[in-house]
Amino acid sequence: MDMSVFDLFKVGIGPSSSHTVGPMVAARRFLTECGPLDDAVGVEAHLYGSLALTGIGHATDKAVILGLMGETPQDVDPDAVEDKLAEAELDGVLNLLGRQPVPFTRATGLVWHKQSSLPDHPNGMRFVLKLADGSVIERIYYSVGGGFITAPGETQAARETVAVPFPFSTMRELLEQGSRDGLTIPAMLRANECARMTNDALDAGLDRIWAVMRGCIERGLVMEGELPGGLNVKRRAAKLWRQERAARNATNHLPHDAVNQVSLYAMAVNEENAAGGRVVTAPTNGAAGIIPAVLRYYAEDCRPSDARRGIHDFLLTAAAIGMLCKKNASISGAEIGCQGEVGVACAMAAAGLVAALGGTNGQIENAAEIGIEHHLGMTCDPIGGLVQIPCIERNGMGAIKAITAASLAMKGDGTHFVSLDDVIETMRQTGFDMQAKYKETSLGGLAIHVVTVNHAAC
């Protein structure tokens, strides 16, 4: 499997990995593939399918413009985004990759095709570069979930294939190798990563991922105000966090109040995501709160003897589950609904927690299977095309489910009736059968049963 842990966990900005991060990457890639830009006199971006239907709510317009400017999701300053966009719109000029000025406005440079989709994926983009001699350069890209992009004919973004000591495309293969060599899943994933980088570089990268996740939680637990987009949704995590802390010493403190912390961690992350803040795609932005929340629960409440090692094992194991889901089903809400986002994130977090707590490979698989099984059929129906309702609360619930799944798995011996491979295939088939209106188009479910302004209008 030609994926790395850092493909599943990418530092970026909100609100969406498929509708924000992916389009930004695609726009920049398009211009870099066009060669010298000295003769460029104009550029257009055509958005299709789900990108067109929910693009405004998911900030696809902003992402494409930033990508054409040469910005990257991992490096762009979230606090500077609005000023950059406002300046370009006021001037009516876009500096392609930061150097070649061409006339551009959102009204003329972005074209929304709400009634049509490109053939390979619901999240399709077509870019057109206009040259001084009247010719054009055109390219098509697809944002396939989790910030991954492809061009027609690609299976994933082009990368050098690296031989790894433990190749796998199913959980069965991974379990068989672990049994044969007496190794845990995180140990095998570490060995695979070290075929690409040094052990120290791997640890440093994992530390950075956790630092960004932790920082996102901390920021989300203090930030207040209203989320952008027009739904007038107020941030709740900070207020609820203050109430939770005050209740810890209160006489009416209930045992189940402890789980509130975990759900608030997740909600804090997804409020930051909805506000366009710095997040880690895990494996998507819409489900970015679950893994950080469960990781913080592990680090602070499980009293680990070696928290750093446990966090690394958690992330490596979670990545293995994410890789299997991406390869054999999908992590794209536009392809298979929210079961592929929150469901997969729940499975990743459950498996990671079991690994960090020293569970067996069989228990890890069992936890992941439980996590997905109880999200099967979950639709992606964001109200107003915004990653807010039900997405924020859904992450809080997903984090609690992940801890429950891990607990159930560790109370058993690893044997279970449904395999992870079987439940992933079930998720794929369920997503294939799901009507398009329930797959990130905001044309069904909650999105049409709640009266709102049409925020997806252009």
- Enclosing H/E stretch for 374: none
Amino acid identity for residue 284 in this structure: T
pLDDT at residue 53 is higher than 70:
yes
CA 113 from chain centre, in angstroms, equals 24
Rounded to two decimals, what is the model's pTM? Answer: 0.93
Q: Own/partner pairs for 181-187, CB < 8 Å, 24+ apart? A: 184/313, 184/355, 184/361, 185/316, 185/317, 185/320, 185/351, 185/355, 185/361, 185/364, 186/312, 186/313, 186/314, 186/316, 186/317, 186/355
Spatial CA neighbour of 376 closest among 415, 412, 425, 409: 425
What is the signed CA dihedral for 252, 255, 256, 257, rounded to 10 degrees? 50
**Per-residue pLDDT tens digits for 225-279:** 999 999 999 999 999 999 888 877 666 666 666 688 999 999 999 999 999 999 9
3-state DSSP assignment of residue 139: strand
Spatial CA neighbour of 277 closest among 344, 194, 219: 219
pLDDT at residue 19 is higher than 50:
yes
Neighbours of 303 (CB within 10 A): 8
Both structure tokens of 158: 């082009």
C-beta separation of 298 from 259 below 8 A: no
Rounded CA separation 137/370 (Å): 48
pLDDT at residue 42 is higher than 90:
yes
Over range 421-445, report the average pLDDT. Answer: 96
CA 48 from chain centre, in angstroms, equals 20
pLDDT at residue 456 is higher than 60:
no
What's the first-to-final CA gap in the chain, in angstroms?
40
**Per-residue pLDDT tens digits for 316-335:** 999 999 999 999 999 999 99
Q: Which residues lie closer than 8 Å to 344 by C-beta, 6 or more apart?
A: 283, 287, 321, 322, 325, 331, 372
Determine the pLDDT at residue 246: 81
Q: Percent of the chain at pLDDT above 70?
A: 95
Determine the pLDDT at residue 157: 43
pLDDT at residue 181 is higher than 60:
yes
pLDDT at residue 457 is higher than 50:
no
Determine the pLDDT at residue 17: 94
Domains and their CATH numbers in the chain: 19-143 (3.30.1330.90), 171-450 (1.10.4100)
SS (H, E, C) 20-36: HHHHHHHHHHHHHHCCC
Rounded CA separation 398/374 (Å): 10
Residue 370 — pLDDT band, cuts 50, 70, 90? very high
Q: Which residues lie closer than 8 Å to 156 by C-beta, 6 or more apart?
A: 2, 3, 144, 148, 150
Rounded CA separation 21/128 (Å): 20
pLDDT at residue 155 is higher than 70:
no
Determine the pLDDT at residue 245: 83
pLDDT at residue 158 is higher than 60:
no
pLDDT at residue 350 is higher than 60:
yes
Determine the pLDDT at residue 161: 77
Beta strand 100-103 pairing with 93-96:
antiparallel
pLDDT at residue 156 is higher than 80:
no
Determine the pLDDT at residue 160: 56
Determine the pLDDT at residue 135: 97
Over range 135-158, report the average pLDDT. Answer: 87
Least reliable range by pLDDT among 127-131, 132-136, 229-233, 311-315: 229-233
Q: What is the mean pLDDT of the chain?
A: 94
Q: Percent of the chain at pLDDT above 90?
A: 90
pLDDT at residue 453 is higher than 90:
no
**Longest pairwise C-alpha distance within the chain:** 78
Determine the pLDDT at residue 153: 86
Rounded CA separation 126/27 (Å): 9
Determine the pLDDT at residue 337: 97
